[in-house]
Amino acid sequence: MQSTTRWTVTAIIFAALATAIVLTLGDMRLASSQTVTLVAKQADAEVPLDDPFDGVWKGAGPIEAPLSGQLVIQPKGGGDRTVTARALHDNDRLYVLLEWQDDTEDLLVSSQTEFTDAVAVQFPVSEGESVPSFCMGDPTAPVNVWQWKGAWQNDIDEGYVGIDDAYPNALVDTYPFEDEDVFYPARSAGNIFAQTDRTTPVDNLLAGSFGTLTQADDQIVDGSGEWRDGSWRVLFARDLDSGEGYSRFSVNESTNVAFAVWDGAKNERNGIKSVSQFLTLTLSDEIADSGGGIEVWQIALIAIGVAALTGALAFRGWQRSKQQ
């Protein structure tokens, strides 16, 4: 082989290596996922509940789940979307991280025509059982649904949005019995929608077929969501075992999981949603490798270094070949 060629090949190998390092460490996908099994490895660091962008998620292999419109029962709607899903566990809790594109951040339900962005995960209550995901379970195979809402996140981050916030110029003489819950019937009935001191943005729900979705007695799912640059990232977290009646998860076992997304700006709510099929969710005992906390700037530095080295080698080769 001529020396020029030899140097060029070396440079290419270095460049490829650099790219590979960047992609691996930076958790980027070259193409859509090849698998429909979502594997939850054991997290190699603590998974913070309030930061869906935390570095620990670099260790979770993402999969892409295609969603399509719900066209089975009225009201129909939604459309084609893709959700990038990741999962981790720490032997006590399961964490699911969903990411999808949405151009607008719709956080309010304070006016007549505003609807909130939302996302949900659905699991069969009994491991492994699954009916078509859009059916919301069936009477013999109930499902456990965790639904995160942008409006609830906003209540937590910014405080409960009341009439004074939504209509700052509204004038009302007096509200009699203002503090009595009975005049806020949804609140006195214990409807989680009416909470003014929300502690989680995620509703824990159960369903056994269309139209049966009901809030569970225990609101035990934590989470958080953040909208950045046209995408939502939402984290769900719950104990692996929350008792009878709710989905249970065990390490080295599999169950099913499905996703749904609502875009508030398009007035999407209820059946007007995009849904995935059921996928397999496996909790593995393998430890995730989030890169030991390597940060983006470190990756960039390595890449620049490798590129500079590649350039130098190539330049050297070119000089040598000129000298010959």
Partner 1 sequence: MAKVYNWQLGREMDYRLEEAHPDRQFAAVFNINRCIACQTCTMACKSTWTFSRGQEYMWWNNVESKPYGGYPHHWDVKLLEMLEKANPGGQKWDSSQRGDRSPYGTYNGQTIFEAAAATGDENAIGYLPTEEEWTGPNLYEDTPKGPAGVPGVYHTDGAQLPEHNTWFFYLQRICNHCTYPGCVSACPRNAIYKRPEDGIVLIDQERCRGYRKCVEQCPYKKAMYRPTTRVSEKCVGCYPRVEGSDPLTNGVPMETRCVATCVGKIRLQGLVKIENGDWAEDRFNPLYYLIRQERVALPLYPQFGTEPNIYYIPPRWVPRPYLRQMFGPGVDDAIERYTNPSRELLAVLQLFRTTQTIIFRYEIEDGELVSETEINGRTWQMYNDTIIGFDRDDNEVVRVSVDEGIIERGQQYQNSI
Site residues (CB under 8 A) for partner 1? 73-77, 109-113, 151, 162-163, 166, 170, 172, 175-178, 183-191, 193-194, 210-215, 267, 269-271
Nearer to partner 1, 225 or 291 (CB): 225
Q: How far is CA 42 from CA 56, 63, 93, 234, 239, in A?
A: 11, 17, 10, 19, 14
Taking the C-alpha atoms of residue 229 and residue 176, their distance in angstroms, rounded to an integer, is: 44
Nearer to partner 1, 75 or 311 (CB): 75
Nearer to partner 1, 53 or 193 (CB): 193
Q: How far is the CB of 156 from partner 1 (least distance, A)?
A: 14
Non-local (6+) Cβ contacts of 8 within 8 A are 314, 317
Q: How far is the CB of 122 from partner 1 (least distance, A)?
A: 16
Nearer to partner 1, 13 or 166 (CB): 166
Residues 268/270/273/275 CA torsion (nearest 10 deg) = 160
Residue from 197, 215, 195 nearest 205 by CA: 215
Q: How far is the CB of 200 from partner 1 (least distance, A)?
A: 15
Q: How far is the CB of 94 from partner 1 (least distance, A)?
A: 25
Nearer to partner 1, 177 or 297 (CB): 177
Taking the C-alpha atoms of residue 319 and residue 324, their distance in angstroms, rounded to an integer, is: 9
* Alpha-carbon 269 to chain mean position: 18
**Residue-by-residue DSSP string for 260-275:** EEE-GGGT--TTSSEE
Q: How far is the CB of 285 from partner 1 (least distance, A)?
A: 38
